Amino acid sequence: MKKFALTVLAAACFSAPAHAFDLGSMISAGSDLVKSATLSDADVKAMAAESSVVMDKKNKVAPASNAYSKRLAKMVKGLDSEDGTKLNFKVYLTKEVNAFAMADGTVRVYSGLMDKMNDDEVRFVIGHEIGHVKLGHTKKAMQLAYATSAARKGAAGSGNSVASSLSESELGGFAEAVVNAQFSQSQESDADGYSVGFLKRHNYNVQGGPAALRKLADLYGNDSSLLSSHPAPGDRAVKLEKQIQSM
């Protein structure tokens, strides 16, 4: 899983793998599936909370004493919530350049991302991933994954809440669908814009946005030709700079 579209994560959202969950095309082709998915906001939050537990089990989580955890804690000191959602942060020890956020306030940052970016740039990535949550993108990814899964029938017939009806493997699958979701060009742009507002609200350096995107362009290139719906990071940086200038 080598992504970060900022993806980053999750998101994440920057450089999606070949097997990524292509949310943009799925929405175009599967609007009926989205409508058929009966997941409420409460369902999505509950599933996110349970899925984050599964993801933490599957990944190597940095202990509080770890240098990465200390750096992240310092980086987000005072950032307890965003737009009414209580946030919880952890670092996954992996070389992957990625991050993701989920509807319950889960934010996971990969150490590979922290190796490549400075604090201002990582904060932008975090804001971008939270933006996908707040703008409803991750909810749609979860709805689509749920609507197309066999787990849906089992949960519907159990009489229990959706989250409590799902197995650990099913929850893990839904989490992976969110983490690997390949969002559309407009969704990525909207999440970039959200993150700039996020940085400004929390008195962070808004220039971390264009800097992060240009760093991605340096790392992975500025070519969007392989996936026309996926914007090149350098182009996103230019658009973001214009937005910042107009603020």
Give yes or no for a contact between 122 and 142, defined as CB atoms under 8 angstroms apart: no
Candidate list 50, 82, 96, 129, residue with the active-site label: 129
The runs of H, that is alpha helices, within 106-225 are 111-116, 119-134, 137-147, 151-156, 162-165, 168-179, 185-201, 208-220
Torsion angles phi and psi, residue 227, rounded to 5: -150, 95
129 catalytic? Reply is yes
CA separation for the pair 224, 228 (Å, rounded): 6
Task: Kindly write down the DSSP assignment for every residue of 67-131, as one continuous string.
Answer: HHHHHHHHHTTT--EETTEE-EEEEE-SS---EEE-TTSEEEEEHHHHHHS-HHHHHHHHHHHHH
Tokens read off for 167:
């197995």
For residues 110 and 92, the answer to whether their CB atoms sit within 8 Å is: yes
Integer Cα distance of 213 and 211 in angstroms:
5
**DSSP 8-state assignment for residue 182:** E
3-state secondary structure (DSSP) of residue 5: strand
Question: Which residues are catalytically annotated?
Answer: 129
